[in-house]
């Protein structure tokens, strides 16, 4: 993608900053971010002079002014934590639903060519249908999941009624560099890496046989670009398309960091689904290749977390 104006909401966050890095050299890139979880550190190695950064909430900023002349909007700004949404469902609603509606409305009024929305596999909830295709009925089980499902519906309405092309990407378990291992709501891969590098035993909740679909952020970035350039609209699963148990994941991380330690097992957490794996055939039809460099991507993540740990 070249010579386009691209807006990334949540552009200082984990996935958003990777998108900025992908596009900044050949495009005009605009970031919208309120710095609640994202940080300027995530783009410190980029040429900041090439990036127009707008600090503030998508609910408060003049988005029409920011979006003027924009080709593509990648909308990632959100309350992304399930526990946080449970603790404060009103805020989750305000940011993830009202905020998304304001982004869509600004995109419509400024004739944006396409909007790509970052959704979540959380919209499926617990299901016995595996792998999970986009045809599986949604069953959101948290305020976060409800907000993502509602935002998807708004995206569809704006495509159908207002002729604003939208694509919604339902991410499964994304990992990669710039993921904060010290966050209260950190994901399992950076937690494992961080603990093992500190010679501490990580905790696994339950028996560790629960499975997840882990996909690297590099592949997620590719999926976003494919979605923007594709004429397809609607919903797409973005995962590896393969399941990995938490025990298997732990052994893989152990091997990568060369640590011979065992985890601590604690009782399973309530509300946690047992199995999850994506059917990604629909995404593959537009060129998505999730399996490329999977183990290398994990090694990159380990190297990144290790570097940040020992260079602070």
Q: Mind listing the pLDDT tens digit for each residue in 100-120? A: 999 999 999 999 999 999 999
- For the entire predicted model, the pTM comes to 0.93
Architecture of the domain whose range is 5-175+215-240+277-291:
3-Layer(aba) Sandwich (3.40)
How many other CB atoms are there within 10 angstroms of residue 13's CB atom? Answer: 28
Give Cα separations from 75 to 9, 58, 135, 172, 212 (angstroms). 5, 10, 23, 17, 25
The continuous run of DSSP H or E covering 100 comes out as helix 99-109
Q: Which of 248, 250, 239 shows the shortest CA–CA distance to 193?
A: 250
Q: Could you give the dihedral angle defined by the CA atoms of residues 211, 217, 218 and 219, in that order, rounded to the nearest 10 degrees?
A: 50
What are the boundaries of each domain within the chain?
A: 5-175+215-240+277-291, 188-211+244-276+298-310
Identify the active-site residue in 72, 144, 154, 158: 144
Residue 293 reports pLDDT greater than 70: no
265 is a catalytic site residue: no
Pick the CATH number of 188-211+244-276+298-310 from 3.40.50.720, 3.60.110.10, 3.90.25.10, 3.30.2290.10: 3.90.25.10
Rg (the chain; Cα; Å)? 19
What mean pLDDT comes out for the span 170-178? 91
Phi, psi of 53 (to 5 degrees): -105, 125
What mean pLDDT comes out for the span 136-142? 94
Residue 185 reports pLDDT greater than 60: no
Alpha helix ranges (H) inside 176-230: 188-197, 217-229
DSSP code at position 289: -
Phi, psi of 245 (to 5 degrees): -75, 160
What mean pLDDT comes out for the span 244-258? 90
What mean pLDDT comes out for the span 51-76? 97
């Amino acid at each position: 993608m070249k010579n386009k104006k691209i807006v990334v909401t949540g552009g200082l966050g984990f996935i958003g900053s990777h998108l900025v890095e992908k596009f900044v050299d050949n495009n005009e890139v605009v970031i919208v971010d309120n710095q609640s979880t994202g940080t300027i550190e995530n783009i410190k190695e980029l040429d900041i002079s090439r990036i127009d950064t707008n600090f503030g909430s998508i609910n408060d900023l003049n988005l029409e002014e920011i979006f003027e002349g924009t080709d593509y909007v990648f909308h990632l700004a959100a309350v992304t934590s399930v526990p946080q949404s449970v603790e404060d469902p009103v805020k989750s609603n305000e940011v993830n639903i009202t905020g998304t509606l304001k982004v869509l409305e600004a995109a419509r009024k400024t004739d944006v060519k396409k909007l790509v929305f970052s959704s979540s596999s959380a919209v499926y909830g617990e299901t016995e249908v595996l792998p999970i295709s986009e045809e599986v009925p949604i069953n959101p089980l948290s305020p976060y999941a409800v907000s993502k499902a509602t935002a998807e519906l708004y995206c569809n309405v704006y495509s159908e009624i207002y002729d604003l092309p939208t694509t919604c990407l339902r991410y499964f378990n994304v990992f990669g560099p710039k993921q904060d291992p010290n966050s209260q709501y950190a994901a399992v891969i950076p937690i494992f890496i961080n603990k093992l590098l500190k010679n501490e035993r990580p905790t696994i909740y339950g028996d560790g046989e629960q499975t997840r679909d882990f996909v690297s952020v590099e592949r997620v970035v590719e999926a976003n670009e494919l979605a923007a350039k594709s004429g397809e609209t609607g919903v797409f699963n973005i995962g590896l398309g393969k399941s990995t148990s938490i025990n298997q994941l732990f052994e893989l991380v152990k091997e990568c960091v060369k640590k011979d330690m065992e985890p601590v097992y604690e009782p399973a957490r309530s509300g946690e689904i047992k199995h999850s794996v994506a059917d990604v055939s629909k995404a593959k039809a537009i060129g998505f290749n999730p399996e490329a460099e999977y183990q290398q991507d994990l090694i990159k993540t380990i190297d990144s977390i290790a570097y940040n740990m020992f260079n602070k």
